[in-house]
């Protein structure tokens, strides 16, 4: 499966310890143990003959980097300058005060260095319900994104009966459950062969409810609700509905983020990049509802059920 990493050329909410040729940007404020954060070194455009010398991140674990990104910045006089961003993602291991070390590089034959930056690491507090919800779309270091998607995004079909008589209505509801930032595309609607079908609810109604499963609250989207009337006796299958998802995780805590957003669409999948948000990564995942067999019995000659219409 594909994934995309989006890193800004200029990072907001950063503290800066700068030298003219090279500077360091570190996430502002204390970070919690086990929580990832970014360190960014900004310097003039490197040529192929130039070198970047990685620092030794004592007291931290490197989970990503170095990653090199080109950028541009404007000086005080309006001059446009080419820059190079070198980005690391670190995890703090123990509480305390640490100095994120400066780095050095050889640029145009000269060694340039950045200063270090002090950061405070605190113990992670017990999670409140709101924080647990936020953690659903925050991808921690070493966490399996696909397992996280399976735990927090899935589709289900519910039928009110799996055995009925000819002409007796059966209701099927297709739902998407999510706690994540996601965009879902219905790539295949279920085949409902052997039934006359009446649509009751679709995406147009935008039906969303909250449902608690094992103590966790999910946004539950009713994708489709149909009433099916079996035409003849036999066993018939409600085919799976297939859904393709693009899920966006944050690689670091995002201030002010309180609720996930979901979009569900029907039709052709677009190839746009979903979003271009700070410090995000996007994963694709496909899923489907289970196939459901409905056993249809012939109508008894002597006693027809009350709901029989045929």
pTM: 0.53
Over residues 141-175, the pLDDT tens digits come to 677 888 888 888 899 999 999 999 999 999 999 99
- State the Cα–Cα distance between residues 234 and 222, nearest whole angstrom: 29
Place domain 3-125 in its CATH homologous superfamily: Immunoglobulins (2.60.40.10)
Contact between 57 and 100 (Cβ < 8 Å): yes
What the block records as the tokens of 9 is: 């050329």
pLDDT tens digits, the chain, 310 residues: what are they? 433 333 333 333 333 333 357 888 887 667 888 777 788 888 776 666 678 888 999 888 887 778 777 766 655 566 666 777 888 888 888 888 888 898 888 887 888 888 888 888 888 765 444 444 556 667 776 778 888 888 888 999 999 999 999 999 999 999 999 888 788 888 888 888 989 998 888 877 778 888 888 888 888 999 899 999 999 999 999 999 999 888 887 765 444 444 455 555 544 334 344 344 446 788 888 899 999 999 999 988 765 556 555 5
Q: Please report, to the nearest 10 degrees, the dihedral formed by the alpha carbons of residues 133, 138, 139, 145 taken in order.
A: 50
CATH 2.60.40.10 in the chain, residues? 3-125
User: C-alpha 184: how far from its chain's center?
Assistant: 11
Contact between 33 and 124 (Cβ < 8 Å): yes
- State the Cα–Cα distance between residues 154 and 169, nearest whole angstrom: 27
How are beta strands 280-288 and 3-6 bridged, if at all? antiparallel
């Amino acid at each position: 499966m594909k994934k995309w990493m989006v890193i800004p050329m200029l990072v907001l909410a950063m503290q800066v310890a700068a030298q003219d040729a090279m500077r360091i940007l570190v996430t502002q404020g204390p970070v919690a143990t086990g929580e990832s954060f970014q360190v960014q070194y900004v310097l003039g455009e490197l040529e192929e003959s130039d070198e970047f010398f990685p620092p030794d991140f004592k007291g931290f674990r490197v989970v990503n980097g170095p990653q090199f990104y080109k950028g541009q910045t404007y000086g005080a006089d309006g001059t446009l300058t080419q820059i190079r961003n070198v980005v690391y993602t670190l995890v703090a291991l123990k509480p305390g005060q640490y100095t994120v070390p400066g780095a050095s590089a050889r640029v145009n034959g000269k060694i340039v260095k950045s200063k270090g930056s002090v950061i405070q690491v605190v113990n992670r507090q017990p999670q409140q319900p709101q924080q647990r919800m936020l953690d659903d779309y925050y991808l921690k270091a070493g966490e399996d994104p696909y397992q996280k998607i399976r735990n927090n995004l899935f589709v289900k079909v519910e039928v009110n009966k799996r055995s009925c008589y000819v002409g007796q209505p059966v209701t099927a509801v297709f739902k998407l459950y999510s706690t994540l930032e996601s965009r879902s595309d219905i790539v295949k609607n279920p085949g409902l062969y052997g039934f006359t079908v009446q649509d009751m609810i679709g995406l147009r109604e935008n039906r969303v409810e909250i449902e608690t499963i094992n103590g966790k609250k999910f946004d539950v989207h009713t994708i489709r609700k149909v009433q099916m009337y079996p035409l003849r006796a036999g066993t018939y299958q409600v085919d799976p509905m297939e859904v393709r998802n693009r899920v966006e995780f944050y690689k670091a805590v995002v201030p002010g983020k309180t609720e996930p957003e979901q979009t569900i669409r029907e039709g052709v999948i677009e190839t746009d990049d979903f979003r271009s948000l700070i410090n995000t990564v996007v994963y694709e995942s496909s899923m489907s509802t289970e196939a459901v067999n409905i056993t249809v019995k012939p109508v008894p000659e002597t006693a027809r059920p009350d709901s029989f219409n045929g």
